[in-house]
Every structure is written in structure tokens, then in C-alpha cells.
Chains A and B, each alone.
Chain A
């Protein structure tokens, strides 16, 4: 919020980018790490590489899209 929140164009672009990152799953690992830090601080989170692999296998083991 600190940087550039007064500039509406910049604010619009940054919320657009965060929306896009959310929809595509670009921020999934960051969210996972944050989740692990807050919920299970004692367990070390998976590496980015392992997390990505596990995500992929889980996502495509069921019907996750239409025609």
C-alpha cells in the first residue's frame, strides 16, 4: 500500500497484475510459503521445484476443465 497507492493508474495496474498472477497461479508458491510460516512454522516448506511438481500432479488427477 505504501508505494504509489496515491497514483490511480499505478494502483489499477498493480491490482490487475496481482489478479493475473492469482488466476494463472503464478503466486501459488508464495502463498503456500506464507501459509506454512503462519500455520506450521515448525515444518520446513517444500522447495519451489517440489511444490510445483506436486501441484501439477494434484491438479491434473481429476477433471479440472471443460471443453
Chain B
């Protein structure tokens, strides 16, 4: 009775808030409306939709023993308390993705991105994460690729594995580009990001040698040192000699990230990767809590309009209309295929009881969506003119400050050179023009929120804290991703030549690591030399790859449901699958076939080749033009590959489902048999 009353109140408040943000036009709305709408929808989704899926479709059995119990080895298979499981899973899925994507998508106005974050998560992303976690838990914690192979056969499994490798490479490149753009000509940011490396190594030695396994102590020491590095960066920035030593060109920083990624991939994990991940988990949880509190405290007005003129596809951050590109740009936070890898990785081996899957799978994703909402608020509380000035590349708005403000003001988003200069001075940067990639504008927004809530006058510190916060996630993705894909590649190469498959054989480690680093290093390099900022090309490519993986995960889930005799309920995953397949296919075909040079990869390459041949390019641009032309061709062909991979798996699933419905033999279900749990069920908390 009480629960129903609460739900009714939530539904009314949430509906009212949603209607409020959807209807409000021509007047600024308050961010509190957005937060209220989002949180009400998440709670309703969790309490009712997820609960219904859990009982009706999965038929969760609380008496059934999980792999954590059956294979308990005290190490990776460990029954874990449900809230610890939730925290672990959230920390594993949340990184820079849900911060950067929504920031970039604000070029369409706040409404499309906000609605996609809310609706996409409760009906799409949360369902995907929870379903894959459930499937993997019922299959001894097997990976998505393995489940695909078992349930859909070799073709589906191979496509899923290739897709995984491709997306990891692109994600490393695009996030590497984000961090390079945040450090470019910024001694403060560069010093702070560089300092994270020796700090992590020190913490690594602390946790491994001095106080083995004392993760909390080590992380706290690391955190204090990092805060010191943020403050120290300010001192470096004001120092005439040291400031110039930390002032680098983008290309130098790209080489630094590439070299760093290679070294980090071959070092033992305890030296750098593991300690930084520990510090990053700590930072992640505390900053998310702080950010939500600060937004509730100051509840800023949203200055961005609900829709901008760029819904027509002419946006300066990236080309393409609001449909399908808002759904491609915001992956993490709404629906992200990458999460399926985590949900079929470490988390299923820790689930103590099937009843906890809803909280870890659905709940963590809802919180990640809230992180995306925080990024929306941070980006839209800025004057739109400032947002566009920070995020537009010089190739789009002009190389000088005067040209840029003239172009942007001409779009109807007034901004002045003085305004940008005083903002840059306030945050301790030499300029904020053309700082593409989303991280700087997000950091300006976060700094404004934090300094209003917790102390005026510290804007510059908060700005660089936010940059460091993003960089630490990104560098973790760079080396963790490089390592993970190195293992995937070694596994694949081992099929061709046995010794290459020995993951600890040094020649194999070196060859595989070099190949992986060269692959993402290439995309990063091209992104940095691109005068349009590189993000405009790489982020859509990443989005398409990520949504392709989401489609593959949802296809596997739908296939398992149909084979399990649940055709009636298959729409739960088939509906988000249909949506994301349409979105990804539309976006991919536009990127392949569009004749608009800004949108189509091949059209862009042709236009540039024409300009190069006609000799109309400035010398600096002519020098990089051949590289950019080759890259656009490559990106175009990659997009073709993603489309083929996605549709191969979908068609394979449809074929197998049809065979099943007609009573023909199909690969048998790979679900583990029922074993009764020995754990004390009465000791487990009851879930609502």
C-alpha cells in the first residue's frame, strides 16, 4: 500500500517534470526539473519495469546457486554483498564516456539529448546491461563473445569478437584525443596529467611492496597527492620557465600518449594500471556524489535552448541531423554496447544471488545515466556562445578569436572575445577557443558548479581538478584497453601460429602490444593533425561502433529469449534492438553515402582531394591533406565493416529463431543446470 502510494507520487512528479521540460520554450528552465524528471523515471523503471522483467521473463530464482557460490575460489568467483556488487559494477561501467558524449550532443539543444538519456537508459541501456548480466550469471560468467558463439553459432560469435576488438581500438583513440586536446598548450593541465603517472607508480609500490593489498590507504594517499598536483600545476603555470617546459603542441602530446600507452601495456599491471584504477574508482564515486549534491544545492538555470538550429545537420561540433546522430553521440549514459562486455566480465562472477542482478545491472546503469544528466547540466549552464566557442574547431569557425566570435555570434549565440578571455583567465588557461573534445567545456561547467557550491575564487583549481578527473579515467581506458585487446589479438594470432598465443611470451607480448598501439595511435595522430578538431570524425565513428556492439548484445539476448520459448516477451530486448539497428544503419549509411563533404566520409575525402588538386589549400593544410584523405577512406570502409558485422549477427539470430519456431534443430541452450543454493537465504536482504 505504502509502496504504491510512493510510486503514484513519483509518477505524478516525474510526469509533471518531464512535461515541464518538454513544453518549456523560449524561457530558460531550471536544471532541477531535469534532475527531478530523470530520477523519478529511473526509480519507476527500476521498481516496476525491471521488477517485471526479473519475475516474468528471467524468472529469477533466489534458491538457485550462482557461479560465485558454485565456483567460489576466494579470488575472482566470490559471492559479494549486493551493494558492493552495485558499486563495483558502477565503477566498472562509468568513465569519461557518459561525460563527453552528452556534452557534445548539446549542440542540438538540451532537449534531444536529455530525453534520450532518460528514455534510452530505462528502456534500452539498463535492460541490456541487466539482461547480459543475467545471461552470463546463468552461464558460469562467460563473456559476450562466448555466449554468442554458444547460442548463435560460430558466425555470430566471431562477428561479436571482431566487433569487440574494433571498438576498443577506436575508443582508446577518441578518448586519447580528448585528453590531448585538454592538455594542448596548457602547462597547468599537462603538469597535472603528467603528475598522475609517478603518483600512480608510487601508490603501486605502496600497495604491492610496503603495505600489500592496502587499497584504501594507498588510494587515499594517491588522492591527496593528486590534489597536490592540481594545486602545484597552478604554481607551474605562473612560473616563467617551468610553464614553457610543460607547454606542448598537440602532436607532441599525441606521441606522449602513444609512447605511454605502449609502455603501460607491457609493464606489470601493479606498477601503473592497477593503482591508478584504484585511485580512479575512489575519485569517480566521490566526484559523482559531490556533483549531484552541488547541482541540487545551486540548481543552475539552463541557458541553452531546447533545440538549436543545428538539429538540421549543420552543427559545428560534428555533422549530421539530430536523428540519428544524437543517439550515436550519446552512447554511454543511454545505451552502450561496451557495457555488455563488463556485464559478462568480472561482475557475473561476483553475484551472490540472482535477486541482486536487477540492482547491479539495471541500477548501476540508471546511475550512469544520471552522470550523463550531470554532464548535460554542466554544458548547458554555460552561455551557448561560450559553449560553441570552446567546442568548435578552427577549421569551422576560423583561426582567430575575432573570426570565431563573429561566426558564432552570427549563428545567434552572442559571445565576445573579452568574455572568452576573462573566462580563460579565470580558469587559468591561455585560451579557451577551439578546445574541442568536450573535456574543457565540461570542466568549465563543473568548475562553475563546484565553485558556486563549495567556494568562490577556486574556479581555476576546480577546472583543473575536473580535467585531471577526466584524464585519469581516460588514461586507465588507454592502458586497460590496450592490454585487453592485446590478449584478444594474441588469442587470435595463436590460432595462426601457436607460440603467439602464449600470453606471457615476451616476443608475442611486444608484437601484439605494438600492433594494438599502432592501430589506435594512428587514429589519434590523424585526429590531432585534423584542423577540424578530429573529434567531428572520430566520435561518430566511435558511436557507430559502440551502438553496433549494443545491437549485437541485444541480438544475442533476443535470440536466447526466443530459443527459451519466450517469444511473447522478446520485445523487451527486440524493441531497443530494432531502434538501435535503425539508428546505427541510418547513421552508417549517411556516413558512407552522403554527398555532403562534412557528413560523408568518402564525400569528405573527395572534396579534400579536389581542393588539393586545385591548389586552393593553404600550405599547412595541403601538407596533411593526403593523410586526411586516406583516413576518411579508411573510416568509410570501417563503417561498412561495422554495418556488415551488425547485420550478420542479426540475420543469424533471425535465422536460428525461425528454425527454432519451426521445430528444426538449433544450438542448444548453454544455460547451466539448476543447483540449489547452500547460502542462508534468510540472511539476504529482501529486494523490492
Contact with A along B74-95 (1 / 0, CB 8 A): 1110101101100110011111
Q: Per-residue CB proximity of A5-40 to B under 8 Å, as 1/0?
A: 000000000000001111111101101101110010
Assess the A67–B274 pair: CB atoms within 8 A.
no
Contact A64 B345 (CB under 8 A): yes
Q: By the criterion CB–CB under 8 Å, are A26 and B484 in contact?
A: no
Chain B residues closer than 8 Å to A32, beta-carbon distance = 74-75
Tell me whether B278 and A62 are in contact (CB under 8 A): no
A61 and B214 contacting across the interface, CB-CB below 8 Å: no
The number of chain B residues with a CB under 8 A from chain A is 60
Tell me if A2 is interfacial: C-beta within 8 Å of chain B. Answer: no
Partner among A24, A36, A49, A51 whose Cβ is within 8 Å of the Cβ of B282: A24
Residues on the B chain within 8 Å of A48, using CB? 212-213
Task: Report how far A53 CA is from B487 CA in the complex, Å.
Answer: 18
B55 at the interface (CB under 8 A from A): no
Q: Min CB distance, A17 to chain B, in Å?
A: 9
Residue of B164, B270, B483 touching A52 (CB-CB under 8 A)? B270
Contact of B131 with A by CB under 8 A: no
> Chain A contacts of B480 at CB under 8 A?
60, 63-65
**Complex alpha-carbon distance, A28 and B73, angstroms:** 12
Min CB–CB distance B405 → chain A (angstroms): 33
State the interface size on chain A (CB cutoff 8 A): 36
* A66-B94 CB under 8 A given contacts A29-B213, A60-B483: yes
Partner of B168, one of A23, A58, A63: A63
- How far, in whole Å, are A45 and B620 apart by their CA atoms in the complex? 63
* A58 to B87 Cα, complex, angstroms: 20
Q: Which residues of B contact A55 (CB under 8 A)?
A: 75
From B87, B168, B345, contact of A22 by CB (8 A): B87
Contact B95 A56 (CB under 8 A): no
Q: Which of A26, A36, A62, A65 contacts B216 (CB 8 A)?
A: A26
Q: Answer whether A66 and B487 are a contact pair too, CB < 8 Å, given A56-B274, A60-B480.
A: no
Is the C-beta of B583 less than 8 angstroms from some C-beta in chain A? no
- In the complex, are the beta carbons of B175 and A67 less than 8 A apart? yes
Shortest B658–chain A CB gap in Å is 32
B599 in the interface (beta carbon within 8 A)? no
State A55–B277 Cα separation when bound (angstroms): 14
Residue from B213, B269, B476 within 8 A of A28 (CB atoms):
B213
> Given known contacts A26-B216, A65-B480, is B74 in contact with A31 (CB within 8 Å)?
yes
Query: Which chain B positions have C-beta within 8 A of A39?
Result: 72, 74
Residue ID in chain B nearest A25 by CB atoms: B215
Measured CA separation A25–B84 after assembly (Å): 9
Report yes or no: A66 in contact with B95, Cβ–Cβ below 8 A.
yes
CA distance A47 to B476 in the complex (A): 27
Question: Contacts of A66 on B, CB cut-off 8 Å?
Answer: 92-95, 97, 332, 336, 338-339, 341-342
Q: How far is A32 from B74 in the complex, measured between Cα atoms in Å?
A: 5
The answer to whether B72 touches A35 (Cβ under 8 A) is yes
Contact A35 B95 (CB under 8 A): no
B208–A52 touching, CB < 8 Å: yes
Chain A residues contacting B168 (CB-CB under 8 Å) are: 63
Contact partner, B345, options A29, A62, A67, Cβ 8 Å: A62
B301 contacts chain A at the CB level, 8 A cutoff: no
Known: A39-B74, A67-B97. A62 touches B487 (CB 8 A): yes
Closest to A33 in B: B74
Minimum CB distance partner of B72 in chain A: A35
A residues in contact with B207, CB < 8 Å:
52
Contact of B212 (CB < 8 Å), options: A49, A60, A64, A67 = A49
Tell me if B208 and A49 are in contact (CB < 8 A): yes
Most chain B CB inside 10 Å of its own CB: which residue of A23, A49, A56, A59:
A23
For residue B164, which residues in chain A have a CB less than 8 angstroms away from its CB?
Answer: 63
Which partner residue on chain A sits nearest B285 by CB separation?
Answer: A23
- How near does chain A come to B99, taking the closest CB pair, in angstroms? 10
Chain A nearest Cβ from B127, distance in angstroms: 17
In the bound complex, do residue B216 and residue A20 qualify as a contact, i.e. CB atoms below 8 Å apart? yes
**CB of B96 within 8 Å of the partner chain:** yes
> Nearest 7 A-B pairs (CB), nearest first?
A35-B74, A22-B84, A23-B87, A67-B97, A48-B212, A26-B216, A32-B74
A-B residue pairs in contact (CB < 8 Å), sample of 17: A22-B84, A28-B215, A35-B73, A49-B212, A53-B270, A55-B75, A56-B268, A57-B269, A59-B269, A59-B274, A64-B92, A64-B342, A65-B480, A66-B339, A67-B96, A67-B97, A67-B175
Q: A residues within 8 Å of B by Cβ?
A: 19-26, 28-29, 31-32, 34-36, 39, 47-49, 51-67
The interface of chain B, by Cβ under 8 A from chain A, is 72-76, 78, 80-81, 83-84, 87-88, 91-97, 143, 164, 168, 171, 175, 207-209, 212-216, 219, 268-270, 273-274, 277-278, 281-282, 285, 332, 336, 338-339, 341-342, 345-346, 473, 476-477, 480-481, 483-484, 487, 503
Other A-B pairs beyond A53-B208, A65-B92, 19, CB < 8 Å: A22-B87, A23-B88, A23-B285, A24-B216, A24-B282, A35-B73, A47-B212, A60-B274, A62-B484, A63-B480, A64-B92, A64-B346, A64-B484, A65-B93, A65-B95, A66-B332, A67-B332, A67-B338, A67-B473
